[in-house]
Amino acid sequence: MFGAFRRYFSTDLAIDLGTANTLIFARDKGIVLDEPSVVAIRHEGGTHGRKVIQAVGREAKAMLGKVPGNIEAIRPMKDGVIADFLITEQMIKQFIKMVHPRTLLSPSPRIIICVPCGSTQVERRAIKDAAIKAGATQVELIEEPMAAGIGAGLPVSEASGSMVVDIGGGTTEVGVISLGGMVYKGSVRVGGDKFDESIINYIRRNYGMMIGEPTAELIKKSIGSAFPGSEVKEIEVKGRNLSEGVPRSFTISSNEVLEALTEPLNQIVSAVKNALEQTPPELGADIADRGMMLTGGGALLRDLDRLLAEETGLPVLVAEEPLTCVVRGCGIALDTLDRKGVTIFTSE
């Protein structure tokens, strides 16, 4: 009875619990939160003492690589799934508090969360349990390609094939959707984080310099490319010289970044080709006409659509707002919570 009373004052939420960013969509309000999936923890009384949440989101991300010994800035999500259950639970709780107006009663919303289609039953159960412990009364899971397709405006309920490639921070999800269901789904643990890691390793190998994740992300966003271009761009960045142990500046070009990104890009191309090979011929003909839709933050990498078009020979479109496609799709799915017999949600 008391739980139902609390839920009356809570807003239904859709959460894109991503490796890099967490977005929350509130019913009738739209996207109300877009924060990095980072938590800063302060250790009180040594490493085995009490742990206190110091900051979450942007404030915590600004601390990455800059914290003293008693504070730890971590990303509790890895490859689209929970790496640290307790910290993820606290992060979700803090984010829910941010989007709910302050009241005497703690919020108790119904929540839809998207999950990678390659996640195991155990990983899905962990995400569901974390949301329930964070205060949710009901939790439904929806697979990322389905949510991305809905958010990108694809005709997912029609008897025709729609192909979505969602490139997030930790995973790349490939889905072929028809009649409101997933005909093919595949997931590879390659995404924006792997791009950053490849840039860090390339610079260490070729320049003898050590850079952090924020610098690698800056390089990727500024001059990163998935296809050789006529214009070569350069950027000057700072790092630590490994042989001298002191900070130094150096310049890296877009062609070098392309070389660094070759391996993760090849894995994404292979995942797309594998999906096309396993798609039924009739749906394949629809995809050949309409093309595939790119969503997720990775879709913003320059000329990625051109690379996939060259490799597959199919039209490739980038969604209007690729970063928010998944959470907007989850938000549209909120309307199905009160309906029985809906099939877009996945079993845990």
Q: What residues form the annotated binding site? A: 19-21, 169-171, 217-220, 297-300
3 state SS of 257: helix
Distance CA 13, CA 108 (A): 10
Question: What size, in residues, is the chain?
Answer: 348
Q: Rounded to whole angstroms, how far apart are CA atoms 185 and 147?
A: 13
Say which amino acid occupies 246: V
CB 298 within 8 A of CB 192: yes
Backbone angles phi, psi at 17, to 5 degrees: -85, 85
Round to whole Å and give the CA distance between 264 and 171: 11
* CA distances, 67 to each of 43, 48, 145, 215, 216 (Å): 12, 18, 36, 17, 19
Can you give the C-alpha Rg of the chain in angstroms?
21
Residue that has been written with the tokens 């010994």 in this structure: 69
Q: What is the dihedral of CA 182, 315, 189, 75, to 10 degrees?
A: -100
Cα 216 from Cα 205, distance rounded (Å): 14
Annotated binding-site residue numbers for ATP: 19-21, 169-171, 217-220, 297-300
Q: Which residue has tokens 């099939």?
A: 343
* Amino acid letter, 272: V
Quote the CA–CA distance of 283 and 290 in Å, as a whole number.
Answer: 11
